[in-house]
Structure 1
Amino acid sequence: MESHHTYSINLNRSPFKGEMSVLFAGKGQPVAGHFIGPAVHDYFLIHVVLDGEGVFETLGKAYTCKAGDAFVIFPDILVKYQSSMTNPWSYAWVGFSGDIVETSLSSIGITPDYAVIREFSLSAAQKMLRTIRKSMDKKNSPALGNMEASGWLRLLLHELGSKHIGDAEQSAIPDSHSFRQIDQAIRLMSLQYGQQLSIEGIARTLGYHRAHLTRLFKEATGLSPMQYLLKVRMKKAEELLGSELTVAQIATSVGYNDPLFFTKQFRKWSGQSPSSYRKSIVGGVTNHTT
């Protein structure tokens, strides 16, 4: 049985490494009742509903989405989405990844708890998504196509964020001052992970007591500041292990003066030593689907 009446997808043949970058984009019209999940993804994914309606489920909540709505899927969070039986939706999507993505989405009010954007400019979003797909058809210059697609992705996020932030001012999103402060803490960690950061120092910089910052940070991200900093450092270490740098050089680059302590932390994070992880990624290939 066919799952879609129509379906097309474009893949990016030259994505940036580490930076925010489009992985693929597509457009489809699923059959009535078609669903995906419950499942997790290892990349970010935006679906824009073009017509009809369906239900998006995440974090124990269900949201009915119709034309002009969008929903954002975050990595490692269980989701399910299903087309209506009576008025099946059609949608366009874009998958993307990068070290700055989570921070960028958070800065415009899009988080796993606030991942549905209502009634934004559908015509503008359609144009951007269509251009993203066309960008990846530049067979003679995939690098230029990648840059163009990444630029249009940022414009799409601007469109979604402009609507979302306006709605958030009237919703239950945490106090805007606190939200901005947490965003500053995230940005500081994302940029200064190679320095000898301390949570006390970050809290002092933002004018908070450590315990208060930790509480606000957990409310906003689901992680403690130390857990988030560890995640940033380990993700960067994974990236650097694909380079020619020694383990000791990588340790210093991500904020650890003691290579043995870095190795211990990395093993806890990945289940492998840095050397074993380096061997495992040689020649590795990742497949992306929606």
Structure 2
Amino acid sequence: MSQMDNLLLANYTELSLHECGREKCQPGKVITLDVKTYHLFHYVLYGSGTFIFNNKTYQLKKGDMFYIPPGETALYYPSDNNPWIYTWIGFSGTKSDQYLKRIGISDDHPIYHDTKELNLKPLFNDLADRYNHSQFLSIECLAIFMNILYKMMIAKHKEDVVLSAKETHIRMAKQFVENNFQFKIKVTDIANSLSLSPNYLANIFKETLGMSPKQYLTDYRMHKACQLLSNGVLSIKDVAKRVGYANPLHFSAEFKRVKRMSPTTYKNQNEL
């Protein structure tokens, strides 16, 4: 290779490329990867297959990507009825670990799923085409790969922002319940305090906490009721009022449903 060609190599301290390719695998072809000194991405262009790493088995399909870290081995093979076609890229560099962390890829999370919005397939195909045309990993190949990393990092950032917003809404909803549980509040009051629709609030509660806002409100009220009952000073009627129930019979029914015993039984068993 000439001196000019050497200047075109994708070989930089922060990020370097080591190998690249694209393969249409035949059914029954099992690959046990030799240990590499660099990171490897495999992106599934078509078909499906199996990836085994760290004693875990992953069934992958078009649009999935699997990661193999340096110093590790893995086993992977195509499905019999729909064998995969994939591209791969090997890379290293002083910033590799930072890129992977920002993307959310690690030994424990070696699978990445492409989306229609992200659409990494053309970039991985372009990367393989450029390498096959020139037969060396050029700066142009590095630019394509950096664009892949960039798009993955931006997508992760957007995901984190959405998650952060949900977590903020959950935290504020909990705070509203803690400050107002003693009043006659409903789920619509919690949602209105956050300028959210009740349906959206219900969805993020279910997704984040595994329960509805109504269930959370009821559970919190029963938690506070248990504290008051354990003190042994207040009557059942007064405890009911203190936790937002005007009707002591309604309170008793809810308490028994949640705690599997009546308020009176709980009070007798737990009075300090």
- Higher Rg: 2
TM-score by length of 1: 0.47
TM-score by length of 2: 0.50
Higher helix share: 2
